[in-house]
Amino acid sequence: MAVAQRRTSKGRKGMRRSHHALKPVTTTVCPKCGKPIKPHTVCKYCGYYNGKKIKNVK
């Protein structure tokens, strides 16, 4: 098992963790109902995808 020979500096630790930040969720507007949805998914409000009815929504 690897054991660190020296203390990890704050700068090196920060550089390693620089990719750990959360990215904001991308959203698009549904062309049918106008609600925000995730891209490339069926709209959970109206059931349309790419201009076609995919599922029935109550």
Strands 36-37 and 48-49: unpaired
- 35 CA to centre of own chain: 17
The answer to whether residue 25 is domain-embedded is no
Q: What does pLDDT average to over the chain?
A: 94
User: In this predicted model, which residue has the larger pLDDT, 2 or 49?
Assistant: 49
Backbone angles phi, psi at 48, to 5 degrees: -100, 150
Q: What is the total count of domains within the chain?
A: 1
End-to-end CA gap in the chain: 57
| Element (DSSP H or E) covering residue 7 | none
Is 90 exceeded by the pLDDT of residue 34? yes
SS3 36: strand
Token pair 């630790």 in the structure block, residue: 13
Q: What is the pLDDT of residue 11?
A: 98
Q: Domain range holding 41?
A: 32-58
The answer to whether residue 18 is domain-embedded is no
Tell me the pTM: 0.61
The answer to whether residue 16 is domain-embedded is no
